[in-house]
Amino acid sequence: MGGPGLEVAKFTFYMFMPIGFMVYFGGPGFYERYVADEAFTFNPPPKRIVPSDTSEINQALQKFRQERAQRKLLRQQGLEESGNEANSPGSDRKA
């Protein structure tokens, strides 16, 4: 057995090692040196062109509305197909 001196040393190590890690890795210097540049090389910000003219805004709205209508149509077709499969005579599922 190590005695009280070893216990104090272990307690000090167990208490201050996590605090030291938090201070070192959580500090702004570490972030600026190692993390800030890498964040943009791996995950570049999306390049989205925001329309500024009224006609461009109307075109973008039309495009979004068409895409939404297509998604809605596909969703309805999928629901109808799943409903037809459940009610078909060869189906083992019960509605």
42/55 same-domain check? no
As for how many domains the chain has, the answer is: 2
42/52 same-domain check? no
- Give the pTM: 0.39
35/8 same-domain check? yes
- CA-wise closest residue to 35 among 17, 7, 27, 56: 27
52/84 same-domain check? yes
- The rounded percent of the chain whose pLDDT value lies above 90 is 48
User: Could you give the CA distance from residue 34 to residue 20 in angstroms, rounded to a whole number?
Assistant: 18
- The rounded percent of the chain whose pLDDT value lies above 70 is 82
Show the domain range for 35.
1-47
41/64 same-domain check? no
User: Do residues 46 and 52 lie in contact, with contact meaning Cβ atoms separated by under 8 Å?
Assistant: no
pLDDT at residue 93 greater than cutoff 70: no
The C-alpha torsion from 14 through 17 and 23 to 29, rounded to 10°, is -170
**Which has more pLDDT, 26 or 93?**
26
2/37 same-domain check? yes
43/13 same-domain check? yes
| Residue appearing with tokens 């190692």 | 34
pLDDT digits (tens, 9 = 90+) for 47-68: 878 888 999 999 999 999 999 9
34/16 same-domain check? yes
User: Could you give the CA distance from residue 38 to residue 30 in angstroms, rounded to a whole number?
Assistant: 12
9/52 same-domain check? no
- Residue 69: pLDDT band with limits 50, 70, 90: very high
